Chain A
Amino acid sequence: MRILMMNPALSNKFPNGRELIHDVDLIHLPMGILYLAGVAMQGGHDVRVIDMPVSNMGWTEVERIVDEFRPHLAGVTTMTATFPNAMRCARIAKAAGARVVMGGAHVTFEYAEALSSDCVDYVIKGEGEQAFASLLQMLVAGQAPDGKVSGLIARPAQRRSRDRLDDKGASSFGDTSLPKRIRNLDSIAFPPYDLLDMKHYVELEALGIHTSRGCPYRCDFCTIQGQWGRQVTWRSADEVAREMKWLVDRYAYRGREFIFYDDTFTVNRAHVLDICDSMKRWDVDVRWKAMTRVDRVDDDLLQRMKSSGCFRIIYGIETTNEESLAKCGKDTHIRDVFAAVRMAKEAGLEVAGYFIIGFPWETRDDMSRVIDTMGALELDEYGLAMLAPYPGTPYFDHPERFGISIPDRDWERFNHLLPIIESKNFTRKDQAEAFVDYLCQHVID
């Protein structure tokens, strides 16, 4: 089969002036669809990948590629903010006669919305490799998905948007549970990077790579636990280093920068140390950075990370409000934050910290205090997001429990840079004012 994997463009509602915002890069290697492309290639299929954001690709070009390639199957990934554009990708592929399968964080939760459109035939929830492989086998064999593949939901022709989850979580879509996780991530082939025009990616600040999947924590603002469950799976350190070495050699990337996109990079201390050792053994001559929690680091770990090329640690600090840290399920403490920042600095690392305002219980004054006090940490880089109540989080599923409303379900606004929720404690304008205060205090010189 001819299979086209598509990563839709970022919404045009990402505010102008993004250069003002320090953020984990929104444009990066589309690892999800790249891994699935690898699955398809292993099955002997002819695969292409469209990554709209990296090349700023317009719809005319997408239509041209689809018309030229005439895919039998299009695989479209989607985050919440890109969902409308993902649907446009689906429409284009469907108009060219393709079947369409959609995956990614957003449709893991909002699959009924996607499948209410005639343009989307299947949704894959959570970790996609096994369900995608099964779907390909069934399509090649001329079979319709039978509802027995874990994580794969099909849209029978008669189904429309009235098919919704009932109160008990049962569904007219059949089994909608998450698929069983892949325990051995080394069993998945390296992503087929050569399907991409890699010159775009090596020009970015950093190449991203994963060493694990999942996060064991239960932060209420995060979709990871809903998308993956709370089990963490790992790649072997040697496989990670081997892939990095391959990328360095293949794309002349020596001395450049990597970012580990793991949700909590240091959740398994021994694994991190193995990776540090393996990078030395494989002579991976790069600098790198990673994201983690403030309560999962120690002096020795950070120093050994530094000695293997780490130059920056990115902490998900979230807030300097102790009450918020407890209420949002982060389960860290302000003392952990200060200790982690101190340890990283003593290890010679740059320190970045990401924060959130707009927790339901916060007041406008609370937001101001967070923004004022984050300066005391003397970080090298600050990032601030306005809380986005993503599908799959308790804030979205049960807003009444938190006393919030989500007046606007325009998915394109779910980008952290536009206020979405209102509560009895604050308005959207309150969040906007606090956000501009943050820009003035911590970003604009």
Chain B
Amino acid sequence: MSLTEGREILGDDWRVTRVRINHQSVVSRRKGNKLVVYEFDVGGFYVLNASAQLIFEQIDGDRTLGQIADRVEGLTSGTVSKCDVVELVSELQQLKVILTERSAS
């Protein structure tokens, strides 16, 4: 998925989109350097690599996607780009692992 496609899914205002994990139907566990994510409503098992795990762990329910993207880019000195963040979040949103809502601010 490209950044453009990710933006289309999340909308033009992706930077101010607030994201949160769908705790009602998502369980995650760390195994070594992997993160196992299980969505048990729609149904899906995912094993996140280190980069995806870092992004996933920034989703605290308060931060907007823009804040998360900036933060991850900073933490990884640009190794993980904003594009990567939007791509993963778009994918996880489609899989019902995370929920998004436009931030009021």
Q: Which residues of A contact B (CB under 8 A)?
A: 13-18, 20-21, 413, 417-419, 428-429, 431-433, 435-437, 439-440, 444
Contacts and interface: CB of A to CB of B under 8 A. Distances in A.
A169 to B, nearest CB: 35
Interface residues of B, number: 19
A58 B55 CA distance: 36
A418 B29 CA distance: 17
B47 A16 contact: no
A359 to B, nearest CB: 18
A433 B45 contact: no
B46 A16 contact: yes
B34 interface: yes
Contacts of B46: 16-17
* Residue from the set A17, A413, A428 with the largest chain B CB neighbour count within 10 Å: A17
B29 A16 contact: no
A58 B88 CA distance: 28
Contact of B31 (A21, A435, A440): A440
Given A432-B27, A436-B29, A14 B43 contact: yes
B47 A17 contact: yes
A181 B27 CA distance: 46
Contact of B27 (A13, A16, A433): A433
B29 A20 contact: no
Contacts of A18: 45
A436 B28 contact: yes
A428 B40 CA distance: 9
A440 B45 contact: no
B40 to A, nearest CB: 4
Contacts of A444: 31, 34, 36, 47
Interface string B40-79: 1111111100000000000000000000000000000000
A437 B40 contact: no
Contacts of A429: 24-25, 27, 40
A87 B41 CA distance: 23
A17 B27 contact: no
Interface in B6-29: 24-25, 27-29
A433 to B, nearest CB: 5
Contact of A435 (B28, B38, B44, B47): B38
